[in-house]
A and B are shown apart, each in its own frame.
Chain A
Amino acid sequence: MTSETSFLKVRDLKKYFSSKETFPAKIPNLVRAVDGISFTLHDGESLGLVGESGSGKSTAARTVLMLETPTSGLVHFKGQNLADLPEPQLRNLRKEMQMIFQDPFSSINPRRKIGEVLQEPFKIHDYKGNTTETISELLNQVGLSPNYANRYPHEMSGGQLQRVGIARAIALNPSLVVADEPVSALDVSVQAQVINLMMDLKEKLEISYLFISHDMGVVEYFCDRVAVMYLGKIVEIASSDEIYKQPGHPYTEALLNSAPGLNIERKKNSAKAHGDIPDPSNPPRGCSFHTRCPIAEKQCKEMEPELKEVGAEHFVACHLK
């Protein structure tokens, strides 16, 4: 069932949270964190999810992995709809899909030695065999010496600890790894080390990545395709090259223009987005970006744009394209 197109297919996925205002009044409030997103991740591909904080990237990723129960929608992973799967089968399938978190200091138990942290996946999935040897090998694979197994997290630097986070994710040979801002907490020089490591592992272990980041530079470098999210919706999806050369959505353009870069030629005269991202519990009517859009017109305030194909495998949700 692992034909190219059916590796991971997400259709019209929604995740709503209800937040009850306790003060001043109890008004149930619906936050549409993920509001009907669809995308496909091919086997062996890296798909980037970009957007600002509050755009719903992390919720989207967590919902794809069924760490959040979706409000509606389909997640087909290797031909099975995860949303319908009973818990024991889902648990079995979790070996195949793992996650790397943003901040290794808060995602790794500070009271456990690295060796114990890395044993956990094997314990959970009743792995029988010599785990000590496997763990040494795992540490080698992520570029750490095997005697790190006896260390505690506080004895390591952020970059080293993120390598442990990666080791934990690849321990059970997953085919899908969701990486939620894996390098944003790291220094620039260490970022490069971790990105190179993730690239190498992709080749060696045939991993597909769903890679979340707010850094256009990192995403363009790491990913084959990029999906841009804004207030719970995908506003543009295309190959990395396309996105950089011909961004279709004004939001994508704003993200590219604001990325502090060493190449200044595309900036300065170009339009930038103004203001902050609106409150997701009360998104603007029409196109949700119109409040910040430099080129918004009347129709943008009234009608919500559909995701349209503007080029080969290039989809944009904007009235003006």
Chain B
Amino acid sequence: MNPIELDVRNLKITFSTPQGNLTAVNDLSFQLYKGETLALVGESGCGKTVSALSILRLLPEPPAKITNGEIIYSGKNLLTMAPNQLRKIRGEEIAMIFQDPMTSLNPVLTIGEQLSETLLQHKNLNKKEALLQSVQLLGKVELASPEEKLKQYPHQFSGGMRQRVMIAMALACEPKILIADEPTTALDVLIQAQILELLEHLKKESGMSMLLITHDFGVVTEVAERVMVMYAGDEVETGPTNSLLSNPNHPYTKGLISSRPQLGKTRNKDHRLIEIPGNVPHLNQRPSGCTFHPRCNWVMDHCKTQKPHSKNLENNLKFSCHLDPGSL
């Protein structure tokens, strides 16, 4: 396997609220290998975005607080790094694209100004050179007539085009790691397919690693080599995409996969979609034992009191459930 690019160890994040300190991410550890795409999957409220934001220290602190853990990037712990050092890594070595391209671009600045801002910040360029490089970047994300686009404003762009601009901004300094937080959720299917293809292509070209956050297993199959499923702040299952999809070991993973209607599966009238009953628990109502037990169809007595340990299987598979592997 490739060398580790990013190593997250025992990360714990809490939020201080009037109801006390609530744990959003609970003892999370994962590794991102060089050149791979790792997908973080789970419903809203499972801690995916919070974990990703903490890597670049973008969480509002307070109320958020990283109470434990290390995030190691090229030998250094990002969590203890001085702000000015961190600023060099943000955007230059680790970049991020956000879910909603409508709100993450500045509406009163031209595309050119916004793109060259990143370049001016991190590279030793003058304005002219920065604009020249911006043109190349827009060409790289396959936008037509890039020179003209530089002078335009975000409102003149469609959602897909804006997301391309966001990608161009993220890739401006050729980062080693790209964090993509639901990059296609706000887009139409046709545009989603185009953006995923573009990301895949750019990733191959530059050899960067990608941490992709999504709630859609369909998107996962398109781009990710490995998947980590999160539930209520815990890692519940991790493994290579193919084996995880065909043989999920955790009931939550299985639920997420089978609750999505699949194209072309012959539908008979009495076949219902398999649903996961209930909702993700609120942070202040975290269930005892296995946090998933109130929604689990395979729940046993000891699930309610004992938190399952993480089990390692061959082939880099890992899951936390009291059930034996292969029993679903």
Contact = CB atoms under 8 A, between A and B. Distances in A.
B19 to A, nearest CB: 14
Measured as residues with beta carbon below 8 angstroms from the partner, the interface class of chain A is 35 or more
B189 interface: yes
Contacts of A189: 43, 255-256, 259, 275-276
A16 to B, nearest CB: 22
B5 interface: no
Interface stretch (B78-86, B100-108, B262-270, B309-317): B262-270
Measured as residues with beta carbon below 8 angstroms from the partner, the interface class of chain B is 35 or more
A160 B279 contact: yes
A274 B195 CA distance: 11
Interface stretch (A79-87, A93-101, A125-133, A192-200): A192-200
A189 B273 CA distance: 10
A52 B194 contact: no
B268 to A, nearest CB: 11
Interface in B257-290: 257, 259-267, 272-277, 279
The winner among B221, B259, B276 for most chain A CB atoms within 10 A is: B259
B216 interface: yes
Contact of A273 (B43, B190, B274): B190
B263 A244 contact: yes
A140 to B, nearest CB: 16
Contacts of A218: 261
A188 B260 contact: yes
A263 B193 contact: no
The winner among B245, B256, B277, B279 for most chain A CB atoms within 10 A is: B279
A221 interface: yes
B157 to A, nearest CB: 9
Contacts of B215: 187-188
Contacts of A110: none
A262 interface: yes
B260 A192 contact: yes
Nearest to B189: A258
Interface of A: 52-53, 157, 159-160, 187-193, 195-196, 199, 214-218, 220-222, 240-241, 244-245, 254-264, 266, 272-274, 276-277
Given A221-B273, A244-B263, 6 more contacts: A258-B189, A259-B189, A260-B196, A263-B262, A263-B264, A274-B194
